[in-house]
Structure 1
């Protein structure tokens, strides 16, 4: 199975800034991130962390022409400095440590030096952007200032001394080139140290005298030189750290401590995966000013209504519709059709009847299941429900209707479970498509574009259910293939397992499927799980890797990343993108202990004992 190539093409790390801006839509997540406060942005792969950070850069805000963009430009009272991750240098330094050839103290200093150099590179780009108009941008002069050549050279001269750069041309291109050479030098000197028996920190400082530069002080002073030169001494800057989970742990502790401190010049906005070394950091242990505390922002949706709202905005941006109009729902349903569950409820936790207009739509499912499933017939009798007249107790009917339809499809006329010939109805239509995407921008846009492309190719005005199911199923297959191939060692985030990630996910999914189809019918079937105290560290590490890749979704209330140091007592469900593969409905209600699931699955897998009689 090929990797999800068309999804990776919507990875913001590889996209042109203009393309990121053109496809961007606002959300409550952006509002929570954009303010003049420190922020911790937590989300799995593809959840939009990079896009959200990059939209805080002046260049992005200059290109942005959304009706709300001007309000954001006025509200964002700082200059964003985007600091991308550099997996290459991290892997290089890690390889030296893995071979046991690099002194641990030297390893720590080399890692920090490489990271700090990348921060300096980002600062230089941000300073240059403040002095340069963005061509063809609707707001080309946003945050643009001017400096005479001599004043600019004086600022750069001070920065070169501060950052211990030598032999540098006093221009932005000169500093960029010097910092590139420094990064190469760090890698080169690291290799030299490896071949020095008994090397120590003193040997490192002789080769790399700038190895212990303090990042915050060096950045703050450099920005201060610039602000003084342009006459804006009180202006503020935001360091936008992406994929911070791969940064050396000692630096993580230093930088994340800044989230709970007050700096008149620098704001910190840090994006990272839910699980990794960073979850060992207790931010509450740092001194904090309650007025200037950080704001955590989690990038997954526990509520289907929130998912639908965000996906509606994404859709509107792609079909040039007004995302503020309620008409987008009608357009979405006209384009994709209405999902089978749409008339029940779009919020699985809300069982309040939406109307009295039942119109007999679900009666066929109830009547059919009643005929072939004795346990369901007994349930209806106990609840005094007439399958041919479902307008009596809409609260309970609406709660069970999706499970009734799903169970009916998988049970044959004789009452024996069967594989349905066609179950695409459960995964197609606007509501189902948006729900399956999880509100994950990369997943949603990737699937949407393939559907629209196929539809245009066939000169159709709507997206047939067959096309929807094909593209969703293809994405699910590719996603499962990726999960099956995940490495068992994720050393940069401190997660190592002995068993494959997908095997555990399938065991959980199989358990849920059997409970829905093979067990007696119940008003509520478990479709989420709680990580209870009986779970091993091995299983928990597998779950953490799955969480980082979006394969499970946390349904517990959470405040910040430290909660994910241990997943015990947290509630999760499987990602809806796995539902077509695991034959599950798009619901996550009622939890069950994960240890119960695993014991049941292990008992089922155990070889049958022969008779002792």
Structure 2
């Protein structure tokens, strides 16, 4: 593979636009993924870029059957798990929102028709994969011919005959086009299309056409009675509340389908259904929160680095198999992460770290540190304060503007991705492909720690700036996050340090709807993470009296340590953060 293909792979990091082979060969399964490979209904939650689309695509049979994993191979061979992936395509979702003349019921009928058609289109890929997996080559063409025509009769009884699944896919595209012409004729004097609507079957109850397709496939290929037929619907955050109500109804009722739905945290808009009874988590479905996956977001930072290394290795192996064995984060970034590495059990009285402790720590902290045993000192002081003291001292040097190497090393690199695959790739690009014309995959030269630190700080600033582009709330969201980060910066550099790190907020009981919307969007973009309980890691806290950690990748921009911390009241942080921001702005004007 040439350098261009390497660049393309690392610059296009959205599973929505990747081929089956790319997704399968670069996929790193987590604990959350295997939880989905069951007959339960699931709602998958995750910030933008957390891998929701890749996870749901991997549940589809055309991906799952190609996955090089013993458990997946066993399920495929035994015909026990057959999934279909259906994206909520922006083109047809948009058409639901640009027809103000329609009644809510008309809108829901159009949604049902569109989703039924999309499910059947997605099921064609499942049928093709099943034929490839379970039919001998010499008989496959005959079974495909029979299956294609049987599905055509079931879905488009007034359409032309087809003799393969490609022809059936083309026919469904024609049905969709005819529907668009029909919508045009409804608002103009044009006469478009025949009187008999080819796609009338898709007006039936939601998911009944794909359920019929499954029954037809069973007549051509045998499956065990306990086979799980999963339907993965991606990006439900783009839908409206009444669309969620309709889908929720099928999570509550008995269905031959196991639903796997994905959306951003707090964007599963409602638990209501079209009946009098709502669905309940733990009974009708389970939440699976990708951002809180225990196999990645553990307190052991080595686990983060191992995950990041695995993701990058698989990416590199896809395009440069000859380079994959050469690559490792430690080879590229070194083995040291100054802010996060193992700390000594004690500091001598005249050591540099003890001098920093005496200079920046509170009197109570210094007194406590001096009476602790070496073992207690390491756990209570050295482990917690080493990185904070280094950053505080750096901030005092030339106002913190001098270049330094503190934000470097594989552990720091992994933490600043927040265990988000898309952010990991973007940060990797910042450090490598975008930094120089030299392709790092063809070089064995380690990146200088000071260069690493500057790139990570630059990446952190871009993360905050990108928040301003979020449609509808960008300006307010950028100001909101910046005010909070200014507060944490001000508290860290202007008060004596203690062993406590403050890097989270707590919402009040009277939180306004407008402020809650900002927090929801911040969580959806991965700028905040709700604190969940150990026993219920997938259950997100509610609007009031809840705690949210700030994203690790925001920390370098403000000279802070990327570490979970104690919460502060939201409005206290906002008011002081806004004052700090105004003060800094006024100082800049004075300089000008």
* Same fold (TM > 0.5): yes
**In 1, are the aligned partners of 2:46 and 2:265 still within 8 Å (CA)?**
yes
Q: Which residue of 1 aligns with 2:131?
A: 131
- Is 1:475–2:459 an aligned residue pair? yes
**In 2, are the aligned partners of 1:527 and 1:573 still within 8 Å (CA)?**
yes
Of 46-55 and 531-540, more deviation after overlay is shown by 531-540
**In 2, are the aligned partners of 1:155 and 1:229 still within 8 Å (CA)?**
yes
- Is 1:50–2:31 an aligned residue pair? no
Correspondent of 1:527 among 498, 503, 509: 503
**In 2, are the aligned partners of 1:238 and 1:268 still within 8 Å (CA)?**
yes
Query: Following superposition of structure 1 onto structure 2, how do residues 375-390 of structure 1 map, counting pairs within 5 Å?
Result: 376=361, 378-385=363-370
Question: Aligned pair in 2 of structure 1 residues 194, 539: CA closer, same or farther (>3 Å)?
Answer: farther
Question: Aligned pair in 2 of structure 1 residues 459, 606: CA closer, same or farther (>3 Å)?
Answer: closer
Question: For residues 381-417 of structure 1, what are the alpha-carbon distances to aligned partners after superposition, in whole Å with 9 as ceiling and x for unaligned?
Answer: 4315289x976622221222222222222235xxxx9
Question: For residues 165-219 of structure 1, what are the alpha-carbon distances to aligned partners after superposition, in whole Å with 9 as ceiling and x for unaligned?
Answer: 42222232232122112222333333333459xxxxxxx9989745632122222
Distance in 2, matches of 1:147 and 1:284, equals 50
**In 1, are the aligned partners of 2:345 and 2:374 still within 8 Å (CA)?**
no
Residue 48 of structure 1 deviates from its aligned partner by: 0.7
Paired residue secondary structure (1:278):
coil
- Is 1:96–2:76 an aligned residue pair? no
Question: Aligned pair in 2 of structure 1 residues 254, 469: CA closer, same or farther (>3 Å)?
Answer: same
RMSD: 3.9
Distance in 2, matches of 1:68 and 1:90, equals 36
Residue 129 of structure 1 deviates from its aligned partner by: 2.4
Residue 293 of structure 1 deviates from its aligned partner by: 5.2
Question: Aligned pair in 2 of structure 1 residues 457, 517: CA closer, same or farther (>3 Å)?
Answer: same
**In 2, are the aligned partners of 1:509 and 1:584 still within 8 Å (CA)?**
no
**In 2, are the aligned partners of 1:102 and 1:194 still within 8 Å (CA)?**
no
Question: Aligned pair in 2 of structure 1 residues 421, 498: CA closer, same or farther (>3 Å)?
Answer: closer
- Is 1:370–2:370 an aligned residue pair? no
Q: Which residue of 2 aligns with 1:256?
A: 248
Q: Which residue of 2 aligns with 1:407?
A: 392
Question: Aligned pair in 2 of structure 1 residues 442, 73: CA closer, same or farther (>3 Å)?
Answer: farther
Q: Which residue of 1 aligns with 2:423?
A: 443
Distance in 1, matches of 2:521 and 2:281, equals 34
Question: For residues 557-585 of structure 1, what are the alpha-carbon distances to aligned partners after superposition, in whole Å with 9 as ceiling and x for unaligned?
Answer: 39598847x43233212211222223321
TM-score after normalising by structure 1: 0.78
Residue 528 of structure 1 deviates from its aligned partner by: 0.6
Residue 513 of structure 1 deviates from its aligned partner by: 0.8
Q: Which residue of 2 aligns with 1:310?
A: 307
Unaligned runs of 5+ in 2: 1-6, 190-194, 319-324, 584-592
Residue 81 of structure 1 deviates from its aligned partner by: 0.7
**In 2, are the aligned partners of 1:530 and 1:594 still within 8 Å (CA)?**
yes
Question: Aligned pair in 2 of structure 1 residues 420, 230: CA closer, same or farther (>3 Å)?
Answer: same
Correspondent of 1:419 among 381, 385, 400: 400
Query: How many pairs were matched up?
Result: 549
- Is 1:27–2:25 an aligned residue pair? no
Unaligned runs of 5+ in 1: 133-140, 197-203, 322-327, 346-355, 489-496, 608-613
Q: Which residue of 1 aligns with 2:257?
A: 266
Residue 106 of structure 1 deviates from its aligned partner by: 2.0
Residue 470 of structure 1 deviates from its aligned partner by: 4.5
Distance in 2, matches of 1:76 and 1:559, equals 32
